[in-house]
């Protein structure tokens, strides 16, 4: 196995970067153009609306009013404080023992990162040998390296003794079909014993 991913790399979770808002793209000229186009459209709607009800207002006054309101709105938005960070609910003195499933944590992301490929491997066995098995092999090598300073490649005899025959055979000669959930649980338990 030539991969050099650590357990931290395999279980790492990156926050999704927020998408750039349309107002942030295009630079200053684009923002100015959009502001002018929006204000011009608003002036046109106001002129049509006022004329429909029989009122006539000077075009200069209408344009000045729309631009003034737009400017005040933009200045107020620029001076507004940043949104408050979402506060966590206070921890009560007595924990009810339930899991907060809506919380985003790295463990949940790692579990979800394994859940989808495992689910796919039930219908497509080649997914198991191509995706899951290499991850399990990397985890085994990483645990061997961290706890015993060997890998399957550097010292195969010692690694085989540490892994045990069942786990060694599973990693070195993959089965034709994905193991059952019970067998996979036994394999993972053996992997955790390393």
Q: Taking the complete model, does pTM exceed 0.75, yes or no? A: no
Cβ distance 176 to 125 under 8 Å?
yes
Tokens 């998408």 sit on residue: 19
Q: Which of 94, 1, 74 is nearest to 32 (CA)?
A: 74
Per-residue pLDDT tens digits for 1-29: 445 666 666 666 555 555 555 445 568 88
pLDDT tens for the chain, residues 1 to 194? 445 666 666 666 555 555 555 445 568 888 889 989 999 999 999 999 989 998 888 889 999 999 999 999 988 888 887 776 665 555 555 556 666 666 666 656 666 666 666 666 667 777 777 777 888 888 888 888 888 888 888 888 998 888 888 888 888 887 777 777 788 888 888 888 88
Q: Which two tokens stand for residue 33?
A: 């153009």
Tokens 């899951």 sit on residue: 132
Per-residue pLDDT tens digits for 45-56: 999 998 999 888
SS3 3: coil
């Amino acid at each position: 196995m030539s991969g050099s991913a650590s357990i931290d790399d395999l279980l790492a979770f990156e926050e999704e970067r927020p998408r750039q808002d349309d107002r942030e793209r295009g630079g200053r000229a684009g923002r100015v153009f959009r502001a002018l186009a929006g204000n011009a459209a608003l002036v046109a709607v106001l002129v049509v609306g006022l004329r429909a009800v029989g009122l006539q207002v000077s075009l200069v006054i209408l344009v000045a009013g729309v631009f003034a309101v737009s400017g005040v709105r933009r200045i107020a938005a620029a001076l507004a404080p940043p949104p408050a960070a979402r506060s966590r609910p206070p921890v009560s003195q007595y924990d009810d023992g339930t899991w907060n499933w809506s919380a985003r944590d790295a463990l949940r992301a790692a579990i979800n990162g394994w859940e989808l490929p495992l689910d796919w491997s039930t219908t497509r066995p080649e997914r198991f040998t191509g995706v899951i098995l290499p991850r399990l092999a990397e985890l085994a090598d990483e645990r061997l390296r961290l706890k015993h300073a060997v890998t399957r490649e550097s010292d195969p005899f010692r690694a085989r003794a540490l892994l045990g025959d069942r786990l060694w055979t599973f990693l070195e000669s993959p089965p034709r079909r994905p193991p059952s959930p019970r067998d996979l649980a036994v394999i993972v338990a053996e992997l955790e014993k390393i």
